[in-house]
Amino acid sequence: MASAALSTLSSGKSIFWAILLIAFGFLAIALPFATSWGVVVVIAWLIVFSGGFQFIHAFQSKGIGSVAWKLLVAILYLIVGLYFVLNPLLGVATFTFALAIFFVAEGLVDLVAYFQNRGATGSGWILFDGIVTLILGLMVWRQWPSSSLWVIGTLVGISMILTGTTRLMLSLAARRT
């Protein structure tokens, strides 16, 4: 089983997809607003579809919660999703604001985790991660809403580059074995 996974990983297709992912990552960073807009539109449509499924589920499910409550949640999903589909710029700003709050909260939690585990080996990395994440969150928050024009697209691009590079290195390492 392991040899089959290694041969798949070392295939030319795997290397091609990794390089393509890296290239698209650089494209996302080069066009951060377009990438941010695209991410929000995709998420908005996912929210709309989720609302539709919840609407159907409200009438089919029996059990915890009333149909009225389930319908209210479904309608909320549909309204929010459609609002973001029709107003993607507001969606970009909203998602960026939520991301800033998430980074600040994550940074603070990491700092608390560091102080609870500061005697453990490698705990300095938790401190480093917490400080960097907190600073990133505060930078995005301070520059909001203008940071909305680049944050989501840039972070998606960086993630794509890192994922593509990791897959490329794994594929190349698998070829050597």
At residue 6, the pLDDT reads: 47
Residues of the chain predicted below pLDDT 50: 1, 6
For residue 49, the one-letter residue type is F
At residue 125, the pLDDT reads: 81
Peptide bond into 32 cis (omega under 30): no
At residue 1, the pLDDT reads: 47
Give the whole-angstrom CA distance, residue 168 versus residue 44. 31
Residues of the chain with pLDDT > 90, as a percent, come to: 32
Q: Enter the pTM of the model.
A: 0.67
Please say whether the beta carbons of 133 and 100 come within 8 A: no
Give the residue numbers spanning the domain of 140. 2-176
DSSP 65: S
At residue 65, the pLDDT reads: 66
Give the whole-angstrom CA distance, residue 42 versus residue 107. 27
* Structural domains counted in the chain: 1
